[in-house]
Amino acid sequence: MSSHSHLQLQVQPLTEIKHLKIHGRTTGALNPLTLFWTGSAIEVNLQASELWLEVESDYDHHESWISVLINSVPVSRQMVNAGRHWICVFRGMNPEQVKNIRIVKEVQAMSGDPGSYLQFHAVRTDGSFLPVEAKPYRLEFIGDSITSGEGVIGAKMEEDWIPAWFSGVHNYTAITAEAVQAEFRVISQSGWGVLSSWDNNPKGNIPDIYEKVCGLLTGPRNEALGAHAMNDFTAWQPDVVVVNLGTNDDGAFNSPEWLDEDTGRIYKQRLNEDGSYHEEDLAAFETAVTRFLAKLRSYNPGAHLLWVYGMLGLSLMPAIYRAVDEYMKSTGDKNVSVFQLPNVTNETMGARTHPGLPAHEQTARELSGYIRGLLSGS
Amino acid sequence: MSSHSHLQLQVQPLTEIKHLKIHGRTTGALNPLTLFWTGSAIEVNLQASELWLEVESDYDHHESWISVLINSVPVSRQMVNAGRHWICVFRGMNPEQVKNIRIVKEVQAMSGDPGSYLQFHAVRTDGSFLPVEAKPYRLEFIGDSITSGEGVIGAKMEEDWIPAWFSGVHNYTAITAEAVQAEFRVISQSGWGVLSSWDNNPKGNIPDIYEKVCGLLTGPRNEALGAHAMNDFTAWQPDVVVVNLGTNDDGAFNSPEWLDEDTGRIYKQRLNEDGSYHEEDLAAFETAVTRFLAKLRSYNPGAHLLWVYGMLGLSLMPAIYRAVDEYMKSTGDKNVSVFQLPNVTNETMGARTHPGLPAHEQTARELSGYIRGLLSGS
Amino acid sequence: MSSHSHLQLQVQPLTEIKHLKIHGRTTGALNPLTLFWTGSAIEVNLQASELWLEVESDYDHHESWISVLINSVPVSRQMVNAGRHWICVFRGMNPEQVKNIRIVKEVQAMSGDPGSYLQFHAVRTDGSFLPVEAKPYRLEFIGDSITSGEGVIGAKMEEDWIPAWFSGVHNYTAITAEAVQAEFRVISQSGWGVLSSWDNNPKGNIPDIYEKVCGLLTGPRNEALGAHAMNDFTAWQPDVVVVNLGTNDDGAFNSPEWLDEDTGRIYKQRLNEDGSYHEEDLAAFETAVTRFLAKLRSYNPGAHLLWVYGMLGLSLMPAIYRAVDEYMKSTGDKNVSVFQLPNVTNETMGARTHPGLPAHEQTARELSGYIRGLLSGS
Amino acid sequence: MSSHSHLQLQVQPLTEIKHLKIHGRTTGALNPLTLFWTGSAIEVNLQASELWLEVESDYDHHESWISVLINSVPVSRQMVNAGRHWICVFRGMNPEQVKNIRIVKEVQAMSGDPGSYLQFHAVRTDGSFLPVEAKPYRLEFIGDSITSGEGVIGAKMEEDWIPAWFSGVHNYTAITAEAVQAEFRVISQSGWGVLSSWDNNPKGNIPDIYEKVCGLLTGPRNEALGAHAMNDFTAWQPDVVVVNLGTNDDGAFNSPEWLDEDTGRIYKQRLNEDGSYHEEDLAAFETAVTRFLAKLRSYNPGAHLLWVYGMLGLSLMPAIYRAVDEYMKSTGDKNVSVFQLPNVTNETMGARTHPGLPAHEQTARELSGYIRGLLSGS
């Protein structure tokens, strides 16, 4: 092993990298940098022959995964072991050539795993960093397992709920952003909704945690890492906020009640005997949509708010249209719209009965067409 | 990190695994197992929640890469650092469910790197191994950079010659074998031909090293590992031997002469002034083809010998047909044929001006159709 | 020409054909049969070597076109000259073999051409007719130029408004019906809407003419042919009524006013200064949708009413959802839904800036998936 | 019918059309013009609102079919009845706009039908003709049923041998020519080969009739029309002659002997007992290939001669390569090559177990890539 010494490689903490682009919400801390959400990444333009990254990670249940993109093409994808390690990103390349490198978190923030985190400490390279050009647009995606890319990886027969089947790269969010030349951020959680999670747990809602850096994480370590700090919305304002929620809210109507053991209160979105949604509970869902739009507007004053829905069924679409309508009427806010996504089919299905890569690609094709229209003002 | 102890995981050297399937030529040694050629792999059916693999690797220049397939779907792909490490293949899965696992060498044997090797020592798991069903057919692929999957990974703009751009999984060999339900082995080397390498080096020919386990490797360590031992052809006889050579032999006609510094002899495949192949040199190429067929027949008495050509140009195809004809006439061997592969286009090009994944997929579609005809005896 | 005499061919008026299936709304008259709407057709299962059809047609401006499908595959497509002619449908075929034959009107009913009509009088054949099996489902499509297949045929550069560019065969209606195994009927007119036509003409609305056999035709001849008779809804009840209207209603907001010369009254759907829809006029559109749903329900008591929209823009979708919601609330009718169709792109565009065949195919793929769900009751 | 009088339409015999482009081999006569081969056509650039064509046709067994292309897009396709008729090509178009019109023979010359012919006499239009720009290249295709487009139209289940299933437009010849910007001619006949037809009839060979305008037609009428006159090769020299023959020559090895009733001589291409080709008979095939190349060269001194093969099996490819090699060696002619076409699959199959449209499209994609290389001199 002495033959490939690293004599010329210099370790640089992230704080010293001149042109470091960070994707995804963070606390702003770089020593180390904690990546919370799927699709979060560091990006550099690097003139070097070799690059290593010092990664730290741990978990109680769900390990983290990362992908490396070189010049926008995925080259490696790997599980991150617990502990602090150096990972070789590339080596043996032409030292004169500048390459664009992205190292991307492939897995969602894990609300169910207080011990789970992923951090980048430093790089080791023989080269120098150049500016990363900003993209003309910014998108924020908010969603559930679909938006977390659950099931994009893996055979159709897979049923285990494990991080390996998630991807932030082979995901309609990333593909849509690429198609419209946008940076993007993702706020997403499997099983969660706008009012409750699929099992009627009222805490499984994205709106309540939206303004925190990563408010759904639990445990003292994540708190210490700043997950519960207020997000700095002034630092990054999106052009479009895409909300892909509702699929688990529909699930709540079709799932058993949820008992809050602290209060003894029972939560259940009810169906009528004929299988239709119970009016009151549907109204509660609509109110949650309307309120979330108001919250999104308060933090994103200039963004188009775009509710999308339909990759795993359309049943709540009328309620979503009503709620958006109600929001628009009551506020006069016209910078809001709804867009139906194409339903998954047998041919486009992935693992765990979730949309596969072809479904994400089809969604990205249709959604990017719609967003392009919004961005061009047409 | 104490939270994910490995108390129930048992270390087993490969020698103790009951149902271990090995793909690719090896020496037969399992303690450790050395994988030489691209596409070489271990395969198990494992009823377990977790699997780790102890990997050892080193290199002077060109590191190794591996991919993990779970139930036939690629899940991870990573560079293998120098040294001896435990790599987690999967974790957190249903311990009752049997999964098919393949861990595949993504990079060709490296004739230019005497320090390069990849070994698997042991596994660590909480589960038990079940038999791996044999596939009905066996294919052997012999080729150059195309067959090594060079350029399948990476952006079109990439020009560095590095292992990252190679793949044994996203490769026409693997896709063809899957399509016809065959196990497969690959013998391949970038730049090499049937007579010489692209730069007229007469040592860069596959036929001379064919009968050795991995005869193109150099250095004392590879020799000690058994790379130069005779391959045990009785242990694995293919139904079809696919030879995809000729592209670099054409390159030799268009490249400068090669000086053998030991002997002072100069080697050069010549062109006539009008750009056509020099008759004598073309005859030398044809003789090399004819001889290689005879050698292949001697080691593979029952196999159909199939010469394929055309993914990067067709110019030597008439010579290949002549040489195959000559071989058939002189030997009476009728179990031989030639098949033209589809040329790469701008749309199907990959990195380093080599066929990209779409080109490999198109080739696999057409080639598997042809091979299916051979296997069904039609 | 004496060499191909028709000695064995027998002329049979349509009234005498034992197993004649008629597609599309008609008056019930067979002597002759008048086809009004696009996609209207006769269908037979015929054991014969040869078939001719006696066709009569005329027009002031817009000639008719027909397509012939043999065993469900389009084989010929031709303009129908004015006058009464025999057209050879097929000849020289195996007289023992039964073939399924459909002869389809390719062009919409022409509201602007009082002289336009298409009639079938008789057949001439050497064979015999067998029963045509009924398909398990029935769909009715109601729409505008999109549903008339305008622009499916012809180069992108074409701008003439002529029948040649229309098709009832290469049309999302036919492709969707085929995909879900349904018979189908089409009620459609280029430029028309649910409230008015694109140019604000209040007479250009489909709802007012819906209950007539073909109420939008004009002129004494069409009246004499029964176009203005009440349609016999008891004879054919659809499982799903698909309404694809709204595109021209949006056009009316963006087009000059329309002057009713008889009354002097001016009609105009107004935009606000900021480009948004004027509230009153939008309400008028919504009322038109709601009323049309009520009318559709009165004539189709058991059908699912499905409003689809989006192939040429989405801007009225919120109003459509509101109107459907209002209809459902005010009536308690739950057998209604809305489905967004995929927008046309540069790649899928046809002639006259209308959806091309790829757009119709994509729409059919997504719409048939949705309708399959309705029909299976899921 | 009085409403659409043709007062302004002027009849012009073809002889008086200023800018008339004729595709396909003809005798040069225009009064009338006889179209012999499939893909033969007239092409005009016409500034007019309306165009009619006076067509004359007859047949004993196999009627003719034509397609109309407006601005390169197929718009209509119809059987041509026996007799002399006016067919409306288009009407109602913008009289100021120039449109490119092609009227194409869809069916091959019919060697088995002495009564079959197709003629164009005159046009009737209100407009004027403009020059048709020449395309930069010229291709000649020589072949059998594949090249006649047999089976491109119709359901897979069709088995009748009738003109309806043929197409000169939806055909690899036309698609390839379009892709490389070439005019093209087709010389083809179902069942024929280079040595004999599929049933061992030695008269069913294309080479013997190649130099005549349409030498395979029979009967006094076709002779009177000039079908047996020498073709004027000076008038049209191709850049590439594509020969797609051999499929029926292989068929002859697998078909019963053919008895020449005039001479009593029996013809049969024999197989050996092991199913391989009989050496003498294979040599006869190869000689036929070699001789045909020499004949093609004598009439097309500057053309690249390209033998293609493989859409319905590859078994004669080694013989073709040998024969081409022999021709090149014995003549020194280097402007010759061989190209394998992609085999048809279940997915790309058309009617009558012949290649369908997807197979023709795939062939055109690969063949046009190869021909583009030839034309660019690379």
pLDDT 10s digits, C55-89: 999 999 999 999 999 999 999 999 999 999 999 99
CA B157 to CA B172: how far, in whole Å?
22
Residues in chain C, how many? Answer: 378
Strands C83-90 and C182-188: unpaired
pLDDT recorded at residue D377 = 78
The Cβ of residue A212 has, within 10 Å, a number of other Cβ atoms equal to: 18
Instruction: Judge if B31 and B90 occupy the same domain.
Output: yes
Q: Using CA coordinates, name the residue in chain A closest to B57.
A: A1
Among chain A residues, the shortest Cα distance to C315 is held by A337
H or E stretch covering A368: helix A357-375
Please tell me the distance from the alpha carbon of residue B193 to that of residue B285, in angstroms, as a whole number: 10
Tell me whether residues A366 and C317 touch, CB distance under 8 A.
no
Degrees (nearest 5) of the Cα angle D290, D294, D298?
A: 170
Q: How many CB pairs (< 8 A) connect B and D?
A: 48
Closest approach of D319 to chain B, Cα-based (Å): 9
Residues B203 and B334 in one domain: yes
Cβ within 8 Å, pair B339-D314: yes
Among chain A residues, CA nearest to B166: A75
Cα torsion at C5, C6, C7, C13 (round to 10°)?
Answer: -160
Q: Do B48 and B194 reside in the same domain of the chain?
A: no
Residue of chain D nearest B342, judged by CA positions? D366
- Among the partner-chain residues C310, C321, C339, the one whose CB lies closest to the CB of A321 is C321
pTM to 2 decimals? Answer: 0.96
Please tell me whether residues B126 and B152 are part of one structural domain.
no
Domain end (from D130, D148, D163): D130
Tell me how far apart the alpha carbons of residues B184 and B25 are, in angstroms, rounded to a whole number: 10
What's B263-317 look like in SS3?
A: CCCEECCCECCCCCECHHHHHHHHHHHHHHHHHHHHHCCCCEEEEEECCCCCCCH
Q: Check: CB of residue A136 under 8 Å from CB of residue A155.
A: no
> Residue A27 corresponds to which amino acid?
T
Q: Do B322 and D318 touch (CB under 8 A)?
A: no
pLDDT value for D189: 98
Which parts of chain D sit beneath pLDDT 70? 1-7, 378
Contact across the interface for D77 and C81, Cβ inside 8 Å: no
ipTM: 0.96
Of A89, A104, A129, which residue is a domain's last? A129
Are the beta carbons of D93 and C162 separated by less than 8 Å? yes
Q: Are residues C63 and C111 in the same domain?
A: yes
What value does the mean pLDDT of chain B take?
A: 96
What does the pLDDT average to over C264-281? Answer: 97
Of B70, B80, B96, B178, which to mutate for an interface test with A (greatest number of A Cβ within 10 Å)? B70
State residue A377's pLDDT score. Answer: 79
CATH number at residue D18: 2.60.120.260
Same domain, C38 and C148: no
Query: Quick check: B168 and B39 in contact, CB under 8 A?
Result: yes
Q: What percent of chain B has pLDDT over 90?
A: 97
- Our answer on whether B and D touch (3+ beta-carbon pairs < 8 Å) is yes
Instruction: Say yes or no: A236 and A353 in one domain.
Output: yes
Residues near C378 by Cβ (< 8 Å), separated by ≥ 6? none
Q: Check B338 against D345: CB less than 8 A apart.
A: no
Interface test with C, best of D47, D54, D69, D81 (most C CBs within 10 A): D81
Which SS3 state, helix, strand or coil, does residue B121 take? strand
Determine whether the interchain pair C318/A334 forms a contact, defined as Cβ–Cβ distance below 8 Å.
no
Distance, in Å, from the CA atom of D314 to the CA atom of D170, rounded to the nearest integer, reads 23
Q: How many CB pairs under 8 A join A and C?
A: 49
Asked whether residue C110 falls in the same domain as residue C143, the answer is no
What are the Cα distances from residue C16, in Å, to B63, C26, C95, C128, C131? 82, 17, 20, 11, 14
- Residue A2 covered by a domain: no
pLDDT exceeds cutoff 60 at B5: no
Q: Rounded to whole angstroms, what are the CA distances from D11 to D50, D52, D85, D88?
A: 12, 9, 13, 13
Instruction: List all residues 6 or more positions away from D252 whose beta carbon is below 8 Å from its beta carbon.
Output: D193, D195, D196, D197, D198, D199, D200, D268, D269
Cα diameter, chain D: 74
Q: Are residues A246 and A114 in the same domain?
A: no
Transcribe C291-355 into DSSP letters.
HHHHHHHHH-TTPEEEEEE-TT--TTHHHHHHHHHHHHHHH---SEEEEEPPPP-TTTB-GGGSB
Closest CA to B194 of B289, B328, B295: B289
Nearest by CB to B276, which of D334, D342, D366?
Answer: D334
Whether B2 shows a pLDDT value over 80: the answer reads no
CA distance C13 to C291: 42
The nearest alpha carbon in chain B to A161 belongs to B93
pLDDT value at position A1? 40
Chain B positions in Cβ-Cβ contact with residue A92 (cut-off 8 Å): 61-63, 160, 162-163
Q: Name the DSSP class of A212.
A: B
What pLDDT, in 10s, does the model give residues C178-188? 999 999 999 99
Out of B318, B342, B343, the one facing D321 most closely (by C-beta) is B318
Domain range for C178 is: 137-375
**pLDDT greater than 50 at residue A141:** yes
Mean pLDDT across chain A? 96
H runs (alpha helix) in chain C: 172-179, 220-224, 247-253, 279-299, 317-331, 357-375
Considering the domain architecture, whether residues B220 and B77 belong to the same structural domain is answered as no
C interface toward D at CB cutoff 8 Å?
1, 3-4, 58-63, 65, 70-73, 75-79, 81-83, 88, 90-94, 97, 115, 153-155, 157-160, 162-164
Minimum distance, in Å, between the CA of residue C372 and any CA atom of chain A: 12
Contact B339 D366 (CB under 8 A): no
Count Cβ atoms within 10 A of the Cβ of residue A378 and give its class: 0-12 exposed, 13-18 middle, 19 or more buried: exposed
pLDDT over 60 (residue C339): yes
How confident is the model over A288-326, as pLDDT tens digits?
999 999 999 999 999 999 999 999 999 999 999 999 999
Answer with the one of B130, B165, B183 that is the final residue of a domain: B130
Band (pLDDT 50/70/90 cuts) for residue A5 is: low
Tokens standing for residue A93? 């390349």
Residues C172 and C299 in one domain: yes
Nearest residue on chain A to C341, alpha-carbon basis: A340
**Nearest Cα to Cα of residue B293 among B242, B348, B339:** B242
CB contact under 8 A, B71 and A154: yes
Q: In the structure, do chain A and chain B come into contact, i.e. share 3 or more CB pairs under 8 Å?
A: yes
Given an 8 Å threshold on Cβ–Cβ distance, is D162 in contact with C78?
no
**Predicted confidence (pLDDT) per residue in D107-144, tens digit:** 999 999 999 999 999 999 999 999 999 999 999 999 99
Asked if the structure places residue A307 within a domain, the reply is yes
pLDDT band at B377 (very low <50, low <70, confident <90, very high): confident
Query: In terms of Cα–Cα distance, which of B200, B208, B210 is closest to B142?
Result: B210
Mutate to test the interface with B, among A57, A73, A116, A165 (most CBs of B within 10 A): A73
- Asked whether the beta carbons of D199 and D186 are under 8 A apart, the reply is no
Q: What is the CATH number of the domain that holds C238?
A: 3.40.50.1110
Cβ–Cβ below 8 Å for C3 and D60: yes
Which of D65, D77, D167 best probes binding to C when mutated, by most C CB atoms within 10 angstroms? Answer: D77
* Cα of C215 to nearest chain A Cα, Å: 33
Q: How many domains does chain B have?
A: 2
Same domain, yes or no: B248 and B100: no
Bridge partner residues of A232 (DSSP) = none
In degrees and rounded to multiples of 5, residue A187 shows phi and psi of: -120, 105
Burial class (CB in 10 A: 0-12, 13-18, 19+), C208: middle
Q: Average pLDDT, whole number, for chain C?
A: 96
